[in-house]
Amino acid sequence: FTAAFHGVMQLDTAKYFQDDHLPTAVTVRDLNGGANFRRARLGVDGKAFGVFDYNILLDVGGSGAEDAGRIQDLWIQYSGLKPWRFRIGAFAPSTGLEDSASTNSSLFAERPAVSDLTRGLAGGDTRIGVAAIGNGERWFFSGAYTGALVSSLNSGAAAFNAPTFDEQQGVDLRVAAVPFQGKDWMTHVGATASVIAQPADLGPAAAVRYAVQLRERPELRVDGTRLIDTGAIDTKGLVAYGLELAVQKSSLLVQGEYFDINLERRNPAAGASDPSFSGWYVEGGLLLTGERRRRNIATAAFDGPTVAKPFDLKKGTWGAWELTARYSTLDLNYAERSATVADRVRGGEQDVWALGVNWFPNSAMAFMLDYYQISVDRLNTAGAQIGQDVQALNLRSQFAF
């Protein structure tokens, strides 16, 4: 029996710069700068009886503001049949490259919008499910059958997420491999499928009984507002596909993903076709101090760098420094100008440019200063533009062990 304790602090301090002279419909969305704990975690994991693993992790952080304490991870896993692990409990099943990396080792404070959206469909944090996970040095497979999220009380909602009459049923699959590698370089490819086989039944009284709603924040959550949002769509099922690619050469890592989301309407109105959405991103990081991000074969994703010379004023050592850049786009419009109103989905399109500097004083800490150029193009039901351009500056202060 082993036990390792874990704690995480992620504090975001952000300022939003919004355009002046915005239409009234937009200006009510006055984004709130300030400081919030994005994640605040405490927990323990380890091995039990040699062939089992366990993980208990609580979180009291939040998006927009801090939430009430809740389960973040809570699962047990049989790992006695190498190279496979069989897991049950609450965990985020693997649904893409960015999703599979620890949030303590991301290039930016938040995941790219499309990655964050698709991971939440049938996976994402606190998803209850079972999974089979296997990997070798150069291959990875994860298959999960998933249900609902853990009930929680978050600061942006009036109450607990309501219990559903029948919980959502879904599937998450991911395969990844390292097809080519050399002494100081490697390539990573992968593919993901995320399926909502049965949307949650919200009951006969719900306005949209089998609602699926695609929406996303602008890759920064000090303000919790989601700028793009399809609204609730009565849904029979949903399938999302993703492709991932990464190349690492010495201290440079470049990675990108593309996702395609296809939704099947339930009892569609006349003229309403099944909508599809898509998005992609490319991001990269260059470690100026010579370290490199490590590919973790157990997750098929990249961990943060091991800092060669931890910051210490007395020794005159300054930790690791990294430059980062990202372009990300997510299009939640579908037939948004269709003559048939029932066919339209005016969720909006969001493009984000981000540039950043990461300072890692040591392997447990990070300070990430990022600049965001966020552009949202979105129509309301009346056809008026309710998108906007926002710039933002954020400092993420992070400690994780």
DSSP-derived secondary structure for 287-353: ETTS--EEEETTTTEEEEEPPSS--BTTTTB--EEEEEEEEEEEEEEESTT-SSGGG-EEEEEEEEE
**Sign of the alpha-carbon dihedral angle for 296, 119, 169, 39:** positive
State the minimum distance, in angstroms, from the CB of residue 84 to a copy of itself: 11
State the minimum distance, in angstroms, from the CB of residue 101 to a copy of itself: 22
What the block records as the tokens of 323 is 């430059």
State the minimum distance, in angstroms, from the CB of residue 80 to a copy of itself: 5
Q: Where are the beta strands (DSSP E) in 23-168?
A: 34-48, 52-59, 70-81, 84-90, 127-135, 139-149
Do residues 73 and 43 touch, judged by C-beta distance below 8 A?
yes
Q: Count the neighbouring beta carbons within 10 Å of the beta carbon of residue 397.
A: 15
Which residue, 74 or 132, has its beta carbon nearer to a copy of itself? 74
Which residue, 56 or 114, has its beta carbon nearer to a copy of itself? 56
* Residue found under tokens 């990675």: 255
What the block records as the tokens of 148 is 């609902």
Which residue, 74 or 208, has its beta carbon nearer to a copy of itself? 74
In whole angstroms, what is the distance from residue 395 CA to residue 344 CA? 38
State the minimum distance, in angstroms, from the CB of residue 370 to a copy of itself: 17
Which residue, 27 or 213, has its beta carbon nearer to a copy of itself? 27
Which residue, 268 or 361, has its beta carbon nearer to a copy of itself? 361
In whole angstroms, what is the distance from residue 185 CA to residue 167 CA? 44
State the minimum distance, in angstroms, from the CB of residue 125 to a copy of itself: 13
State the minimum distance, in angstroms, from the CB of residue 392 to a copy of itself: 14
State the minimum distance, in angstroms, from the CB of residue 142 to a copy of itself: 19
Which residue, 88 or 341, has its beta carbon nearer to a copy of itself? 88
Amino acid identity, residue 266?
R
Which residue, 32 or 340, has its beta carbon nearer to a copy of itself? 32
